[in-house]
């Protein structure tokens, strides 16, 4: 069973950037997105500093973020990648299942992938993930390459926003019509 401290601080910088972006979106009345806490059971606590030093995950989490953008329900997960190939093992079946149900209910589900070696973000639509996932389940590649991704969903920080994903969300909505 995985423990809380076994994963270190992986992804914490990316999540902090997204959290700050979400604060700006909330302050400007563009979106209300919240970080979904992962339920844990503390095992060891540093009594002097009142910090949890070891914990077990209570259950599998679904997505990192959930909320609404101008009345549209959205959920997404944040992932970091240090190469041009993204391993699908970084995404779990329960996340795919949740996102699939979320979209069936009229919501928008996606992944925000930060390609750290390129300092570039990618908005991965659930539709696109699903194609890669099915390919994997049918015995194909267990990853996807940067050159397989749609150019219109790449973005970088701008206008003081660290992870300005609303433009990519708008592109997603436009391409759904």
Beta bridge partners of 143: 87
**Residue ranges of the domains in the chain?**
4-176
The answer to whether the annotation marks 64 as part of a ligand binding site is yes
Q: What average pLDDT does range 104-113 have in this prediction?
A: 97
d(CA 33, CA 66): 6
Q: What average pLDDT does range 99-125 have in this prediction?
A: 96
Judged by average pLDDT, the poorest of 4-13, 91-100, 121-130 is: 4-13
The answer to whether the annotation marks 41 as part of a ligand binding site is no
The answer to whether the annotation marks 62 as part of a ligand binding site is yes
The answer to whether the annotation marks 177 as part of a ligand binding site is no
Q: What is the pLDDT of residue 3?
A: 41
Judged against a pLDDT cut of 80, whether residue 29 lies above it is answered with: yes
d(CA 122, CA 142): 19
d(CA 142, CA 134): 10
**Structure tokens given for 135:** 């390919």
**66-80 tens-digit pLDDT:** 999 999 999 999 999
Place of tokens 């993930």: 129
Contact 138, 79 (CB under 8 A): no
Residue 108: phi, psi to the nearest 5?
-115, 125
CATH 3.40.1350.10 fits 4-176, yes or no: yes
């Amino acid at each position: 069973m995985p423990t809380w401290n076994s994963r270190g601080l992986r992804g914490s910088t990316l999540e902090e950037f997204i959290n700050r972006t979400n604060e700006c979106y909330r302050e400007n009345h563009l979106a209300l997105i919240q970080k979904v806490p992962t339920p844990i059971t503390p095992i060891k606590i540093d009594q002097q500093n009142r910090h949890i030093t070891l914990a077990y995950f209570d259950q599998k989490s679904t997505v990192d973020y959930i909320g609404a953008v101008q009345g549209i329900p959205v959920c997404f997960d944040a992932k970091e990648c240090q190469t041009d190939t993204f391993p699908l093992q970084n995404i779990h079946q329960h996340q795919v299942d949740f996102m699939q149900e979320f979209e069936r209910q009229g919501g928008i589900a996606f992944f925000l992938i930060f390609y750290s070696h390129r300092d570039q973000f990618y908005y991965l639509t659930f539709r696109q993930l699903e194609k890669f996932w099915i390919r994997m389940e049918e015995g194909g590649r267990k990853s996807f390459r940067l050159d397989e991704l749609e150019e219109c969903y790449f973005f970088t920080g701008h206008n003081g926003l660290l992870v300005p994903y609303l433009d990519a969300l708008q592109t997603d909505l436009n391409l759904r019509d």
